[in-house]
Amino acid sequence: MFLCRVCGEQFRASRYNALVCGERCQKRLTRGHAFAYLAGLSKIRRDVERARHRRLDRWRLEQRQAVLDVEQQREANRSARVQRRQQRAAAKIDAAERREARYERQVEEDQARERKARIEWLVNFFGDAMDRLEYMVADSPEAKAVLALVQDVVSDTIDDELEVAMARLMPQSAG
């Protein structure tokens, strides 16, 4: 039961912070007639009634603080849930980035292996071709000059391919 701040009547309220019993008293309260019913009471009775109102006010403050505590706890729980969701999302993104990096490394390694196989094939092919050319032109000095020129071109081509392949492989071996 609550005690109306204007008329002093007890009333049932649906809210814990209700001060008045109805609209009439609400209007009187807004016009500055709080504790109007105390005017016709003795000093002792006024003090008793004011003490009752102070106790009710303390109780209302306690109830309000309890509501605030619950709201703060809810907000803390909400924040914790949001933070957990963000952490899970960040973990998923991180895992996806690691998978992507792993895939990219695998692609680079596959390309490096293919390049190495091509280089080995070129070395073997041109090595065999040079051996045959040397055998075929063993007696002709002009042919030997052309053969030396071809060997230089082939050697430079193979060296360039090896440099490109090593440049691609070196960052991977360092990481």
The amino acid present at 99, given as its one-letter code, is: R
Q: Report the length, in residues, of the chain.
A: 175
Q: What is the pLDDT of residue 175?
A: 44
Cite the beta strand spans of the chain per DSSP E. Answer: 2-3, 10-11
User: Chain-wide mean pLDDT for the chain?
Assistant: 84
pLDDT in tens, 97-156: 999 999 999 998 998 888 888 878 877 777 777 676 666 666 667 767 777 777 777 777
Which residue in 103, 104, 117 sits closest to 161, CA to CA?
117
Q: What is the pLDDT of residue 128?
A: 73
Q: What is the pLDDT of residue 172?
A: 53
Q: What is the pLDDT of residue 85?
A: 96
Structure token digits, residue 37: 């019913």
Q: Per-domain residue ranges for the chain?
A: 1-40, 41-174
